[in-house]
Amino acid sequence: MNLILFEPAETSVPLPRTDARAMHILKVLRRHVGDTFDCGLVNGPRGKATLAAVSPEALTLRFAWDATPPPAPAPITLLLGLPRPQTARDILRDATSLGVAALHFVTTEKGDPNYALSSLWSSGEWRRHLVIGAEQAFDTHLPAVTHGRPFEEIVATLPPASTRLVLDNYESPTALSAFHLMSEKAVVAFGPERGWSAAERDLFRASGFQFVHLGSRVLRAETATIAAVTLIRAKLGLL
């Protein structure tokens, strides 16, 4: 991790020695009393933390925040047919590192219903992967995330005036790399393992989505997500 993120409520109380961040500060960064390290406030500023005291139970930290927060996340929303949990973990982390505004993991007709029941979602573990991704990118912003809501419900809530794209290597005549973005916001949809149903394709078309592809090579969902977000960030002038 390139900076260590804290929740607002955590900045006024000691950090327990059992917290993974306390271990990281002492054992990996090897900080002693009086030393500083890079920190951030979730969805807030970056800054410097000073290790003020170390007891057997906890670390006492003092925070000094930068006056201006890091740039807002890119106006990119991802809509993903719920993948298997290990794939979702990587996408949560990597999409946050690359910088997106929102991630919606939706249920679909041909998706495996067990994926929505994973402890990744029910235990709240999913949020940890956002934190890891933001810390990697030296950012404080976590994307908005929904999970397990039906595809149709999320499509109805998408930002208006956004370019809407759905990745599909079978139905799309247009390469994403050759697509001209006509707006400053983008929504990109990625199908579940078994693809979209005919009804879902119809709803995409009725909702202003255009079908694009990433070339003839079949990529893992994790790889395709990184590739598509990279191309869109470049098109938005953010890379």
Does position 231 interact with a second copy (CB under 8 A)? The reply is yes
Pair 222, 193: CB distance under 8 Å: no
| Options 15-23, 61-69, 93-101, 189-197: segment touching a second copy (CB under 8 A) | 93-101
Query: Applying CB under 8 A, which of residues 105, 106, 139, 143 lies at the interface with a second copy?
Result: 139
Q: Is 212 helix (H, G, I), strand (E, B) or coil?
A: strand
Does position 86 interact with a second copy (CB under 8 A)? The reply is no
Query: Applying CB under 8 A, which of residues 52, 175, 202, 208 lies at the interface with a second copy?
Result: 175
H helix or E strand, kind and range, residue 40: strand 36-41
Does position 239 interact with a second copy (CB under 8 A)? The reply is yes
184-223 residues in contact with a second copy (CB under 8 A) are: 214-215, 217-220, 223
Q: What is the phi/psi pair of residue 178, to 5°?
A: -100, 0
Does position 28 interact with a second copy (CB under 8 A)? The reply is no
Output the six-digit token pair for 124. 């709240």
Does position 140 interact with a second copy (CB under 8 A)? The reply is no
Query: Applying CB under 8 A, which of residues 5, 94, 101, 118 lies at the interface with a second copy?
Result: 94
Give the count of beta carbons closer than 10 Å to the beta carbon of residue 225: 25
* Residue among 24, 18, 56, 55 at smallest CA distance from 37: 24
The residues, ordered by sequence, that sit 6+ positions from 45 with a Cβ below 8 Å of its Cβ are: 65, 66, 67, 68, 69, 70, 140
Give least dist CB 160 to a second copy, A: 27
Give the count of beta carbons closer than 10 Å to the beta carbon of residue 119: 10
Give least dist CB 2 to a second copy, A: 5
32-51 residues in contact with a second copy (CB under 8 A) are: none
Number of residues near a second copy (by CB under 8 A): 27
Query: Applying CB under 8 A, which of residues 47, 81, 99, 191 lies at the interface with a second copy?
Result: 99
Query: CA-CA distances (angstroms) from residue 216 to 78, 109, 174, 175, 235?
Result: 22, 25, 12, 10, 21
118-137 residues in contact with a second copy (CB under 8 A) are: 136-137
Cα separation of 231 and 211, whole Å? 15
Nearer to a second copy, 106 or 143 (CB): 143
Does position 80 interact with a second copy (CB under 8 A)? The reply is no
Cα separation of 90 and 199, whole Å? 29
Residues that bind a second copy (CB under 8 A): 2, 94, 97-99, 136-139, 175-177, 214-215, 217-220, 223, 226-227, 230-231, 233-234, 238-239
